[in-house]
Amino acid sequence: MSKSGREIELKLELDPMAQDALKSAGTIEGFTAGRAVTKTLQSIYFDTPDQALRKAKISLRVRKTGRSWVQTAKIGTGVMAGLSTAVEAEHPVSARALDFSVIEDPEVRKKLAETIGDAPLGECFETVMKRTTRQLTRGSDGARIELALDTGNILAGNGSQPLTELEMELKSGPGLAVFEAAKALLKDTPFRFSPFNKAERGYRFAEGVTAAEGAPYFAEPVEFASGISAELAFRDVLRSCLTQIAENRLAVLSSDNPEGPHQLRVGLRRLRSAFRLFRPILNPATLLPLDEMARIIATEAGALRDLDVLIDEIVAPLAAKAPESLSFDALLENLNATRGQDTRRTLKEHLKSAEVNGFLLDLAAYTEGRGWLDPENFDQTVLLAQPVETFAGKALARQWKKVLKYGKRLEDLSIAERHEMRKTMKKMRYGIEFFGCLYPRDTVKPFLKRMKKLQDIFGYLNDVAMAEKLPETCTASGPKADAARQAIGFVIGWHECRCQTMWRHARGYWDATRKTPKFWS
């Protein structure tokens, strides 16, 4: 029996202990689950000496199940938001060796021949996995999904690397069914979207490339293909934001590194900025629930990030500058207790919830399922199809107009308005980072440099405004209260003095930014 066609698969990584719990899960809400079947799979991956197949996003393997061998070629092996949509050609073979004669699809044979040429093929690495599968069905829409829980190792040379993964392959029915099934199955089990398929993991392990578990994730620059539509550009921006949010959710859960909540908040802010920059071409009704949940999580991450900045950048550095008669111990002890016992705990508890799991899977479904479409808006098709270059210029001009509105009154802005101007400039900066690849680098860099400098000033002013709330934030009592109050007075006085100097520079930086040529015009 052979199989050839497009495969739609959601790939998620799990903690091994969490996967054991899922294997024994009973009913899956909304779906009928078949009996669990466990098999051992040994897969051997092949490529040319210069990895021609890998470069062409093709994986080629033979897999042993029981006594049988099956050869599989997957064309288009990239993974986005954990979703793989490769073309797959699968056929039985007689042994641990390739046999192209069994491939029935002429296009697959042609693609393999063009990619490999005369180069020899050899074994690169293998995986040995224990796979537990269940068939999920839903009568309302004919959805059929194969759920596979994989636990095993990647083997290359003399080394091995453990791998625990959940795969959900759509056999029939609407594509969004895999995300709905994942929500019903996982509930509050944290996961990460698999950034690579098993083949790419094998290549990376064979090359000695390993990622630090739980490390803060910094978004990679967004790069658009030439001539891409505004709709596809929006999708690519969403994918970047989703990856940053999902990865830093795990960073916060696994570590107290302050960069984790910072990058989580940045990812959520980038997402919400994207919603606003692309709003003219979107269905506002479908993005509202996502935007609201992003706001809630960003507020919680922001509370922890603000305390991190307050403690590590505003208060702690002044301990060495203060007179010897002043002690910062009571103040720092109180702030650290608030950070750990209340703020961080609140954020972590929410990040472990089914609600956040649902948000991530809903955002992935929105991204990959064109959730922004508005069936009532007959003009939307034209708006979505416009070249991103056309859309980007208009989007940046709109956002710059909002910044200008505050800049014209710079000297008269209240503290609250300064904060709003800072947020408006952040959205402008994210827009520049989204669309910057469309313009010559030497025209983007001068404007972005001045924007960052101005944003830094406003950021510091906001941090000082936060420090002024220290008397309310610090709850030290008893003999420590007096020492804490004295330290707070020194902190506020020192930063207020510096703040006055920084604010005097703000007008100059604003004028320089305003006069810098607008590269999008």
DSSP 240-264: HHHHHHHHHHHHHHH---THHHHHH
* pLDDT score, position 1: 45
In this structure, the answer to whether residues 142 and 240 fall within a common structural domain is no
Higher per-residue pLDDT: 476 or 512? 512
Q: Which value, in Å, is the radius of gyration of the alpha carbons in the chain?
A: 27
Higher per-residue pLDDT: 78 or 308? 308
* pLDDT score, position 459: 86
In a domain, 218, yes or no: no
pLDDT of 23 higher than 90: no
Residue 38 CB-half CA count within 13 A: 9
Say what percent of the chain tops pLDDT 70: 96
In a domain, 93, yes or no: yes
Across 155-166, average pLDDT: 90
Across 14-37, average pLDDT: 82
* pLDDT score, position 6: 57
* pLDDT score, position 227: 86
In a domain, 125, yes or no: yes
Looking at residue 60, its amino acid is: L
- Residue 78's pLDDT band (cuts 50, 70, 90): low
CATH number of the structural domain spanning residue 445: 1.40.20.10
In a domain, 196, yes or no: yes
In this structure, the answer to whether residues 281 and 373 fall within a common structural domain is yes
In this structure, the answer to whether residues 250 and 109 fall within a common structural domain is no
* pLDDT score, position 80: 66
d(CA 380, CA 253): 40
In a domain, 220, yes or no: no
222 contacts: CB under 8 Å, gap ≥ 6: 236, 237, 240, 433, 434, 437
User: Among 185-194, 204-213, 289-298, 310-319, which range has the highest average pLDDT?
Assistant: 289-298
In this structure, the answer to whether residues 143 and 247 fall within a common structural domain is no
pLDDT of 478 higher than 80: no
In this structure, the answer to whether residues 340 and 418 fall within a common structural domain is yes
Q: What are phi and psi of 474, to 5 degrees?
A: -80, 130
* pLDDT score, position 351: 96
Question: Any bridge partners for residue 168, and if so which?
Answer: 10, 147
Domain that holds residue 118: 3-206
* pLDDT score, position 257: 92
Across 261-283, average pLDDT: 97
Average pLDDT, rounded, for the chain: 90
Structure tokens belonging to residue 271 = 């997402």
**C-alpha closest to that of 91 among 62, 67, 113:** 62
pLDDT tens digits along 177-229: 999 999 999 999 989 898 888 888 899 998 887 766 678 999 999 999 878 99
**C-alpha closest to that of 73 among 112, 125, 120:** 112
pLDDT of 82 higher than 80: no
In a domain, 152, yes or no: yes
In this structure, the answer to whether residues 259 and 399 fall within a common structural domain is yes
d(CA 327, CA 325): 7
In a domain, 76, yes or no: yes
* pLDDT score, position 20: 75
pLDDT of 124 higher than 60: yes
In this structure, the answer to whether residues 194 and 258 fall within a common structural domain is no
Is the pTM for the entire model greater than 0.95? no
* pLDDT score, position 212: 64
Across 134-140, average pLDDT: 92
pLDDT of 4 higher than 60: no
Higher per-residue pLDDT: 481 or 352? 352
Across 83-98, average pLDDT: 86
In this structure, the answer to whether residues 190 and 240 fall within a common structural domain is no
d(CA 396, CA 333): 45
In this structure, the answer to whether residues 261 and 170 fall within a common structural domain is no
CB contact at 8 A, 254 and 356: no
pLDDT tens digits along 419-474: 899 899 999 999 999 999 999 999 999 999 888 888 888 888 888 887 888 887 77
CB contact at 8 A, 349 and 253: no
d(CA 475, CA 482): 11
In this structure, the answer to whether residues 383 and 419 fall within a common structural domain is yes
Structure tokens belonging to residue 130 = 């224990």
Coil, helix or strand at residue 171: strand
Across 31-58, average pLDDT: 94
CATH number of the structural domain spanning residue 71: 2.40.320.10
Segment holding 501, helix H or strand E: helix 479-515
pLDDT of 305 higher than 80: yes
Domain boundary among 206, 238, 267: 206
Any idea of the CA torsion for 156, 159, 162, 165, to the nearest 10 degrees? -10
In this structure, the answer to whether residues 190 and 285 fall within a common structural domain is no
In this structure, the answer to whether residues 271 and 123 fall within a common structural domain is no
Q: Which ranges in 100-227 belong to alpha helices (H)?
A: 106-116, 177-186, 198-206
Domain boundary among 144, 172, 206: 206
In a domain, 131, yes or no: yes
CB contact at 8 A, 118 and 17: no
d(CA 57, CA 320): 55
Domain boundary among 206, 238, 266: 206
- Structural domain total, the chain: 2
